[in-house]
Structure 1
Amino acid sequence: MRRRAVGRAVMSDAVAAQRVREGRRDAFLLLVDRHSAAVHAYLRTCLTDRGEVDSLTEETFRRAYAVALRGTEPYTHWRVQLLTTARGLAVSAWARDPYSMNVADGFRYWAARGGVWPLMARSALFEAYRSLPLRWQTVLWHTAVEEDGPALTTDVLGLPRGQYTTVTGRARQAIREFYLDVYRRAAVRRPSCTAFVQSYSRRPAIVSAAEWARARAHAIRCVRCGEVELDLSDIGYQLCAQLPAALLGWWHDPLYREARATPLPMSPPAFPRR
């Protein structure tokens, strides 16, 4: 059962972090409440020992609390920052004993290879995502990647529940526009590709059937434009497929979703102490 905290429904992650900097230690419990299950689930894809997973979950939040107290602005939204910290702690646990039975086999293999990022890490969709304002990045991660749902997503953003659909739609439209704008600049010397982008960016209200047919035919012949069409045909699926590995390096989607679906009880965090 999720804890209830004062002001939880109206305090965004950003405001909670600001309150921590102002001395409101209880505000950090909002971040723990919203993100601890995800951190715990992620660590369960890295390590097999329950006690170590619990310990590193707590250490992840201890470090995040120290960051919030210093007033250091996160380079990304809180969920990804916390998962990034958890990944680093898991890598350190592996490095201490690479052959430990407490390290999950898949994570051990990834770490032993040097923690190599996948080839799609610098994809056009990823670049468009990183070009978005942090607010839209947050919306897309929680809705498209983790499918956290309206209640948690609006709490993270500090929005009324009724704005969920509007904000989600705007975020998806924003990344679509950023993506096409980036590709348009890259294709400026390729007239046929430029025409494809113009047609694709205007559909479906303005583009005629003949123009749309020409754009589709071009996408079949052109590998680069074909990738654009694939990315934007189901942008939610592509974000889910590309973003986690690109941002975190290690990501085992089936294990993570299984862990999120079967949450394990965790001991109350031993911080922040008064």
Structure 2
Amino acid sequence: MPHGRPRPADAPDHELTARIRSGADQEAAAVLYERHGPSVLAYARGCCRSAHTAEDLASEAFARTLEAVRAGHGPHAAWRPYLLTVVRRTAAEWAASERRTVLSEDFERWCDGPSGAADAASAEDRALRDEDRRLVLHGFRSLPERWQAVLWYAEVDREPAGTVARLLGLSRSGVASLTARAREGLREAYLAAHLRRTGGDEECRRYGSLLAAAARRPEARAKRALAAHLDTCPACRRAMAELTDLNERIGAVLPVAVLLWGGERLVSGAAATAAAGGAGTAGGGAAVPAVPVPDPTAVGSWPVKALPWGAGAAAAAVAALWLAAAPWGGPDSDGPGVAAPTAAPSAAAPPSDRVPRAVPPPASPGPTGSTPAAAPAPGGTATEPPVRAAAEPVPAPHDRTRLRIAATGRCVEIPDAEPAYGVQAREATCDGSAGQQWDVLMPYEGDRGRLQVRNTATGLCLRNSGTTKDREPVVQHRCDAGDRRQLWWLYTEDGTVGSLWDQDVVMILGLADWYEGEKGLPHSPRLATNHNYYNSSSFRLLFDGVLFDGRMAEAAERPS
């Protein structure tokens, strides 16, 4: 890790998360509570009949989240939307227990649903089915965590740029740039989720990119072919409407889609805060947002108010209660010290907790400088003769797995396990050889958005070209965590399926001949980076298990 870590109060959320996972920095947890406690308590108040019960609900949500983080799950950078979801899920569990009586009438009605039945199937189970139907939610959770965070803080909560910058470890200008990229990423993720729901319909896939373009410019006349398709396809017609809504009202759409209940009140609270010109600052004495006047005639009307839990004795006391409620390991603990909580991550935490993906700060220094590689030739090796790698210290892997191309079922390998710089990766029939085994490294501790992928046999890391040209080769090179061309962002779909992207989240790793590979046609076995065309299965990778659950790394370290 880089030297000279900032004090916890000044550190971004993802670094505080890493400190918590190390088991040696309880102050980091208190800082996170101070930053996000007001929003969590405000949302909990809408779920409960009394302020005292809301505090209990908020504390339980924090304790569950902390427990998940300590177990290697939970949020990494997007703490606030994660915590709010845990509040809602925890309250839904209460609705199916004797604690139901402490919940607000509005939340009870939502849990009961149209049938009026007050059991788990009609509450949280129904909520999970509702989540599954929401493409916006699927798209949001597929984003890198820092994208999720910047959208929530900048678009939903309308935090000042300086506050968002501190939460995410960015500059003020970096916040604007990341927000723009995240908005575009959400549109693309929504569209990918929509195309998956269409069952691979070729016509829907063909018009997919036109949908996104039309949603960005709703005032423009739709192309005649697209208009004709929309006339006959209800699914794409609905997607067009939702994409347009997402483009124009992202701050209002996101909380409703992500939280399922009470999200619109967060929007009204943020709007009131912005209108009053009093947006709060995270940590160190957060300002109290303006309180909207509740409409007594409206169903579910309750004031969204962030209580003044800034720095001071009250914050310290509540944080201490939270810390005491969580099963902390001692400073010498070398693991989570506890099993994952019964309701987290699978029941009490968002699905995105399987492998969080964080967007790194734009100028984070690496341990060493980068070393340029020779440009690879079309044949799969460098234009100069491959340079044989010198023996170097080998960091222990955080995980080990095969990487199988979803479209073909074949394994990514280094041909003949040749330990030379510039050799291009390719796919081949899976044979269990060491050249088809890959170590997943996390050089920036706790940051799963900057991963290296090292071949087990050669000890060299995959490196992209650093360009935005399609079909550019991916080769192996000396592992260097300071070389951003070796750092990959990991998207996951269900923990065992994912994709690897470059650090700009523009180019994706996969077959150079992605179309032919997906269609079962003759194709080159070479691996390259391409733009993500139609969410092709040639860009999806199958792992041998859930990454970072600890089991594969332990198996890799056992003597053979």
TM range, normalised to the smaller chain?
Answer: 0.7 to 0.9
In structure 2, the residue matched to 1:226 is 237
Structure 1 residue 93: Cα displacement = 4.7
Structure 1 residue 119: Cα displacement = 4.2
Q: Following superposition of structure 1 onto structure 2, how do residues 101-120 of structure 1 map, counting pairs within 5 Å?
A: 102-112=102-112, 113=118, 114-115=122-123, 116-117=126-127, 119=130
Q: Report the AA paired with residue 107 of structure 2.
A: F
State the SS of the aligned residue for 1:172.
Answer: helix
Which has more helix, going by share of residues?
Answer: 1
In structure 2, the residue matched to 1:263 is 306
**1:188 to 1:156, Cα distance in 2 relative to 1, 3 A:** same
Q: Following superposition of structure 1 onto structure 2, how do residues 139-158 of structure 1 map, counting pairs within 5 Å?
A: 139-158=150-169
CA distance in 1, matches of 2:65, 2:188: 33
In structure 1, the residue matched to 2:37 is 36
State the SS of the aligned residue for 2:223.
Answer: helix
In structure 2, the residue matched to 1:74 is 74
Is the 1:13–1:31 Cα contact (8 Å) retained in structure 2? yes
Is the 2:153–2:159 Cα contact (8 Å) retained in structure 1? yes
Q: Report the AA paired with residue 39 of structure 2.
A: A
Structure 1 residue 229: Cα displacement = 1.6
User: Which region of structure 1 is more displaced relative to structure 2, 259-268 or 47-56?
Assistant: 259-268
Structure 1 residue 255: Cα displacement = 6.8
User: Which region of structure 1 is more displaced relative to structure 2, 158-167 or 138-147?
Assistant: 138-147
State the identity %.
26
Is the 1:245–1:251 Cα contact (8 Å) retained in structure 2? yes
CA distance in 2, matches of 1:184, 1:234: 18
Total equivalences in the alignment: 262
Structure 1 residue 211: Cα displacement = 6.7
In structure 2, the residue matched to 1:174 is 185
Structure 1 residue 18: Cα displacement = 1.3
Q: Report the AA paired with residue 16 of structure 1.
A: L
In structure 2, the residue matched to 1:84 is 85
Q: Following superposition of structure 1 onto structure 2, how do residues 1-80 of structure 1 map, counting pairs within 5 Å?
A: 6-9=7-10, 11-22=11-22, 23-68=24-69, 70-74=70-74, 77-80=78-81
Larger Rg: 2
Is the 1:16–1:31 Cα contact (8 Å) retained in structure 2? yes
Structure 1 residue 202: Cα displacement = 5.1
In structure 2, the residue matched to 1:96 is 98
Query: What whole-Å deviation, never above 9, does each CA across 1:227-257 have from its counterpart, x for those lacking one?
Result: 2221222325665565545544433522773
Structure 1 residue 165: Cα displacement = 1.0
CA distance in 2, matches of 1:212, 1:129: 28
User: Which region of structure 1 is more displaced relative to structure 2, 226-235 or 88-97?
Assistant: 88-97
Name which of 118, 126, 129 aligns with 2:137.
126
Is the 2:191–2:208 Cα contact (8 Å) retained in structure 1? yes
Which has more strand, going by share of residues?
Answer: 2
Q: Following superposition of structure 1 onto structure 2, how do residues 151-230 of structure 1 map, counting pairs within 5 Å?
A: 151-184=162-195, 186=198, 189-191=201-203, 193-201=204-212, 212-230=223-241
CA distance in 2, matches of 1:169, 1:108: 38
Q: Report the AA paired with residue 263 of structure 1.
A: A
Q: Report the AA paired with residue 45 of structure 2.
A: R
State the Cα RMSD in Å: 3.5
Structure 1 residue 180: Cα displacement = 3.0
Is the 1:45–1:252 Cα contact (8 Å) retained in structure 2? no
TM-score by length of 1: 0.76
Is the 2:39–2:306 Cα contact (8 Å) retained in structure 1? no
Structure 1 residue 73: Cα displacement = 2.3
Is the 1:12–1:158 Cα contact (8 Å) retained in structure 2? yes
Structure 1 residue 155: Cα displacement = 2.6
Query: What whole-Å deviation, never above 9, does each CA across 1:142-187 have from its counterpart, x for those lacking one?
Result: 3334434423333332212221111010011112223334445647
CA distance in 2, matches of 1:93, 1:7: 34
State the SS of the aligned residue for 2:74.
Answer: coil
State the SS of the aligned residue for 2:207.
Answer: helix
User: Which region of structure 1 is more displaced relative to structure 2, 196-205 or 263-272?
Assistant: 196-205
CA distance in 1, matches of 2:66, 2:202: 50
Is the 2:41–2:54 Cα contact (8 Å) retained in structure 1? yes
State the SS of the aligned residue for 2:29.
Answer: helix
User: Which region of structure 1 is more displaced relative to structure 2, 34-43 or 251-260?
Assistant: 251-260
Is the 1:38–1:260 Cα contact (8 Å) retained in structure 2? no
User: Which region of structure 1 is more displaced relative to structure 2, 179-188 or 125-134?
Assistant: 179-188
Q: Report the AA paired with residue 12 of structure 1.
A: P
**1:125 to 1:53, Cα distance in 2 relative to 1, 3 A:** closer
CA distance in 1, matches of 2:265, 2:81: 18
Q: Which runs of 5+ in 2 are unaligned?
A: 1-5, 113-117, 270-291, 293-301, 325-329, 331-560
Structure 1 residue 42: Cα displacement = 0.9
Is the 1:142–1:148 Cα contact (8 Å) retained in structure 2? yes
Query: What whole-Å deviation, never above 9, does each CA across 1:188-219 have from its counterpart, x for those lacking one?
Result: 5443x4443243445699xxx88724424543
State the SS of the aligned residue for 2:238.
Answer: helix
**1:146 to 1:72, Cα distance in 2 relative to 1, 3 A:** same
State the SS of the aligned residue for 1:45.
Answer: helix
Q: Which runs of 5+ in 1 are unaligned?
A: none
